[in-house]
A and B are shown apart, each in its own frame.
Chain A
Amino acid sequence: MLQPALEDHIAALRRYARALLGDRIEAEDLVQDCLARALSRAHLWRPGSDLRAWLFTILHNIHVNNVRSRHARLASVDASEGRSWRGMSAPPDQDTRLELRDLERALDRIPEEQRQVLLLVGMEGMSYDEAARIVGVPIGTIMSRVARGREALRRYMMHPGQEVEDDLEPAAAVAGRGAVRHLRRVK
């Protein structure tokens, strides 16, 4: 074996978790939980099948459960959490840095189901079919989330500082990546 495939997949999971959750520690925990569950279910993995998709599906399911249980605890939680800006890789100059920050904020403001799909398809280069299997929705839903998510990001990038209107309730816009937005989850 030449390519450290499993390590590559874990790097992808960490990237994805970080982008999804915003918070570094939460993201690392999610990946750790994912690996632990993968280990306990290693016997279920079919050799030759897509390992990356398997791992991402596990991570996605754990995340959905986490969100559900947080949702249950939510009544008394102040929704100001989740506003931590992530560190960047290595933006070279000021303009790019600002653009990256705008995109990061824009990602924060779009609905999570759109963010997930944009990350899987756009950042990780997955096919729409693969993303559909991981998220557990029909491919048509993936396509419409991609289209709406990208348009929302684009509008935000054109007018940074303003809230993205489409698909976002006022409360969710204020709470950003915090818990309140998760209430909107339909799935």
Chain B
Amino acid sequence: MDHSINEHELHLYVDGHLDEARRAAVEAYLEQHPEAAARVRDYVQQNEMMRQLFGAAGAVPRTEAQERLLRRLERRLGRSRFHILWRPASAVAAALVMAAALGATVTELYNSDNTVEPRSSFADTAARVHSFYASAASEPTEFGADAAAKLNTQLDKRLGAPVRLPDLSQKGFSMVAGRLLPTSDGVAAQLLYRDKAGRLVTVFVGPANGGPRTAAMRPVQRQDLSLYTWLDGRVDVAVVGGLNGDELRGIAEAAQRSLQPPAPGDRPEDRPGNPPAKPPQHDASRT
């Protein structure tokens, strides 16, 4: 492995623009060079603090003039052209919008003092995320296999454990969007599914708070939204949607089966009804 790390690579590392191999090389270097490691930590913190400082400025209501211009511009550019699904480059922006739009959650994001009951906070966040994006969803679209694979890779990295994006096709739902979002316990993923009738379901997957543990599936009610939440040892999961309880429970159970860690000799890709395994490739195009 190449151990020569230059200054620029440290910055590319900070900004997440290195591929797997170079990232590992930088990390090995940082372990040997505490001074560089301290700088990198500070740089990462700078990025985070800038988002904290200015995130809200993008999320407060637009001025009337901006609103008018936005609508006109939208018509001129043609909504159909904005087929921007999940992309690494836009993930940060989406997270910022989301963080600010969630209001109270912003405080939770950066507050390590876990006075809030984590399970209920996770359900709250899941409900808000679902409401926010469900109201924005208007046209059917496809979440391509490439985008899903990319999201999956990112999610595995963030959670530190391989996770399979749930396949809900047997319930008539296909994945139409996915995005990574900051939560009080780390980065979580919102996976949005839609059925032919246009109904939306969110599967919200986050890191299990405070180490591996489990909790059985249970229903939760948040305003007009029903949720089912559970902990499967590695991940905290909430399934949200404006469906009746029984139907949502069926979907939650399907998601739970999909998400379960594979038992030895029973790899999920061997089971029927699951999509083929994603190729273990990493996006190196942005380094």
Contact = CB atoms under 8 A, between A and B. Distances in A.
Interface of A: 1-19, 24, 27-28, 31-32, 35-36, 38-39, 42, 45, 47-48, 51-52, 86-93, 96, 99-100, 103-104, 107, 118-119, 121-128, 130, 143, 146-147, 150-151, 153-154, 157
Given A12-B93, A39-B73, A147-B11, A122 B47 contact: yes
A122 B46 contact: yes
A154 B73 contact: no
Residue of A48, A123, A143 with most chain B CB atoms under a 10 A cut-off: A123
Interface in B86-106: 88-94, 96-97, 99-100, 106
22 contacts: A1-B141, A2-B133, A3-B94, A3-B133, A10-B66, A12-B93, A15-B55, A18-B54, A19-B53, A28-B66, A39-B69, A39-B72, A47-B81, A92-B111, A119-B50, A122-B14, A122-B47, A123-B47, A128-B17, A150-B42, A151-B39, A157-B46
Interface stretch (B57-65, B166-174, B203-211): B57-65
A14 B57 contact: yes
A103 B50 contact: yes
Contacts, number: 200
Contacts of A45: 77
B136 A4 contact: yes
A119 B46 CA distance: 10
A12 B58 contact: yes
B56 A11 contact: no
Taking chain B's interface residues, is the majority helix, strand, or loop, or is none over half, making it mixed? helix
Contacts of B7: 147
Interface string B37-50: 00100110011011
A69 B37 CA distance: 43
A126 B47 CA distance: 12
B136 A2 contact: yes
Given A1-B79, A8-B93, 13 more contacts: A2-B192, A5-B82, A8-B97, A11-B58, A12-B93, A15-B57, A19-B54, A35-B73, A100-B52, A123-B54, A125-B89, A125-B92, A130-B89
A14 B58 contact: yes
A129 B11 CA distance: 14
Contacts of B69: 32, 35-36, 39
Contacts of B161: none
Residue of A9, A52, A86, A157 with most chain B CB atoms under a 10 A cut-off: A9
Contacts of B92: 123-125
B8 interface: yes
A167 B89 CA distance: 30
Contact of B15 (A2, A122, A151): A122
B78 interface: yes
B76 A42 contact: yes
Contacts of A14: 57-58, 62
B84 A3 contact: yes
B54 A103 contact: no
Contacts of B63: 28, 32
B223 interface: no
Contacts of B15: 121-122, 125, 128
A15 B96 contact: yes
B196 interface: no
A77 to B, nearest CB: 26
Given A19-B54, A122-B50, A3 B65 contact: no
A107 B42 CA distance: 14
Residue of A2, A5, A51, A122 with most chain B CB atoms under a 10 A cut-off: A2
Nearest to A25: B63
B267 interface: no
B239 interface: no
Given A3-B85, A8-B90, A32 B66 contact: yes
B66 A35 contact: yes
Nearest to B200: A2
Contacts of A151: 39
